[in-house]
Chain A
Amino acid sequence: MSNEIKFNEEAMATVNKIIARYPQGKQKSALLPILHVAQAEFGGWLSPETMDYVASILNIKPIEVYEVASFYSMFNLKPVGKCLLEVCRTSSCWVRGAEDVVKHIEKRLGIKEGETTKDGMFTLKTVECLGSCGTAPMLQCGASFHENLTMEKVDALLDEYRAAGKLRSYTDMDYKNTL
């Protein structure tokens, strides 16, 4: 990845396709979907430069992007690890052992909730209900849902992700789900 903040041709084609979904003059509607693309393309978070760039594409003021990016929980305004592990902590997951999952990951990775491993591989976060309550406990990483978690499954997942070493995004096409 180059350091210049500019969509490559493929990403730009996606962005243009998204903008075309909305009526003339309503291109601001494309903001959320495009921020997802930008986050995936530019290192897993939205730097001020990235947000300014998105503003210029949509022909809106940078503040209109900042206020939106800071409202929604999926947009990272600070750098995170390549794999953001989002463990659901709400009721149905809590009663089926979500706290154990969090503790287990904390121990395995030597970090606390909210922290990133030194190698920049993992960030651990707890989140609210992800619509997987019937397959609790669960965690999301990028586009993939990992459900009915056991400690063995968590270990295997961390090993797999570390070995692959790549950035996981919500926009990934090789998503996994176990529904």
Chain B
Amino acid sequence: MGKKLLIHNDNVPNIHTLQVYREHGGYASVEKALKSMTPNDVVEEVKKSGLRGRGGAGFPTGMKWSFLAKPEGVPRYLVCNADESEPGTFKDRYLMEKVPHALVEGMITSSYALGANTAYIYIRGEYFYVSRILEKAIEEAYAAGYLGKNILGTNYSLDLYVQVGGGAYICGEETALLESLEGKRGNPRIKPPFPAIAGLYGCPTVVNNVETIAAVCPIVMMGGDEYAKIGVGRSTGTKLISASGHINKPGVYEIELGLPVEEFIYSDEYCGGIINGRKLKAVIAGGSSVPILPAELILKNDKGEPRLMTYESLSEGGFATGTMLGSGGFMVYDETTSIVKNLYTLARFYHHESCGQCSPCREGTGWMEKVLHRIVEGHGKPGDIDLLWDIQKKIEGNTICPLGDAAAWPVASAIRHFRHEFEEYINNPGKIKDVKHYYSTQSA
């Protein structure tokens, strides 16, 4: 059993209440930080911990915090990104629903470190019921003196609010999120300026993922150096992995970074192997935006070494043979899966979610969906694979925000590793049409 720091108590009855959460050591990081550490001490521990953003990009959290501008007399904000809309990702929902106080505690300790007196949790609108759970937890925290004026008798004050979104993947992108929090359309801003300089209402702002913020509590308690001993190399600590697809035990698992991918897929402690004893075909390891890898490349890298669940190991080989840890949305596909049709569902997703500001993304995602649709329907044309390749190339790197890249990579990687399947669709449409490409819940 690996070490667990975030959801170790998820099965304790009533852990969602402040009383039970406290009985299990909850809010200790607030006590410790506010009473015995300066804000800067907390930032230093987070730096030492090597914690990297858990929202997808993996940017070092301590460094991000140290970039926050601190002009006199201007408020600073901490905003928690609970938009969680990357297909395959559902860990933040699990954490917020099961142990809401872990996020509330992290928000208080982190806000203290950043000198923010107002903080927001921006949660995707579809998680409305989770926003209720968080609001209840926040109410309890106010009543217990962990929020509001002069927290625990110190001169630090903090107000914490939850804001629900309206259903838009793009609002997970941090500047689109800030626009949305200001009551506008979720159009990403052109950077610079970065939110650390001009974020919410033009004020210095830090945006962090739910899991990142929750991880600050154990870091403050055990110290950054101790935390950094968990994991491998620059992938320190634990990570929540959302596991879905053709596996026996889908769900959210907290792993120590460094766990071999093969163990994660086949061990009964985690995914429990492929359903119905079928063979593994492919994995998307870090949410829908990262490259898909065939079984042989996800289990071992191109040098034949076992792949580990770390930022570095998963990306070994670059995009030619590797992928990314991303948000930890681990989607597993067995031998019966049509990679082409699966890609079509993703291309449709990105087209639906493009905000439309940049033409390469707006037009390109539409074209990719259209071309994939005709291929899936058996009307693919001989040049379609090259056409898809060309479109994704023209999107990548040419857009305001990374959604464009996120739409391009799944297409590029599917063609790179499964070109023969696209060819089969185009050359033998009749044959493909008879294959049952998706599971029937009736027959499973």
Q: Residues of A with Cβ closer than 8 Å to B?
A: 21, 23, 26, 28-33, 35-36, 58, 60, 64, 67-68, 71-75, 89-92, 94-101, 128-137, 140, 143-145, 149-151, 170-171, 173, 175, 177, 179
Contacts and interface: CB of A to CB of B under 8 A. Distances in A.
Contacts of B88: 91-92, 129, 133
A137 B157 CA distance: 44
Given A92-B245, A97-B438, A100-B441, A133 B181 contact: no
A31 B180 CA distance: 9
Contact of A68 (B161, B184, B331): B184
Interface string B355-374: 10000000000000000000
A144 to B, nearest CB: 7
Interface in B159-206: 161, 163-169, 180-186, 201
A33 B128 CA distance: 10
Contacts of B422: none
Contacts of A21: 120, 161, 163
| Residue of B87, B163, B165, B250 with most chain A CB atoms under a 10 A cut-off | B87
Contact of A28 (B92, B165, B183, B353): B183
A131 B184 contact: no
B440 interface: yes
Given A72-B168, A91-B346, A134-B250, A170 B128 contact: yes
Given A92-B331, A94-B345, A175-B129, A128 B442 contact: no
A33 B163 contact: yes
A-B pairs, top 7 by smallest CB distance, nearest first, are A72-B166, A31-B183, A74-B167, A133-B244, A134-B250, A73-B167, A28-B183
Interface in B332-387: 333, 337, 341-342, 345-346, 348-349, 352-353, 355
A73 B166 contact: yes
12 contacts: A68-B166, A73-B166, A74-B126, A90-B288, A94-B342, A95-B438, A96-B245, A96-B441, A100-B441, A100-B442, A129-B85, A177-B129
B252 interface: yes
Contacts of A90: 87, 288, 345-346, 349
A87 B21 CA distance: 35
A97 B440 contact: yes
A83 B87 CA distance: 24
A95 B333 CA distance: 8
A114 to B, nearest CB: 14
Given A73-B167, A134-B242, A91 B126 contact: no
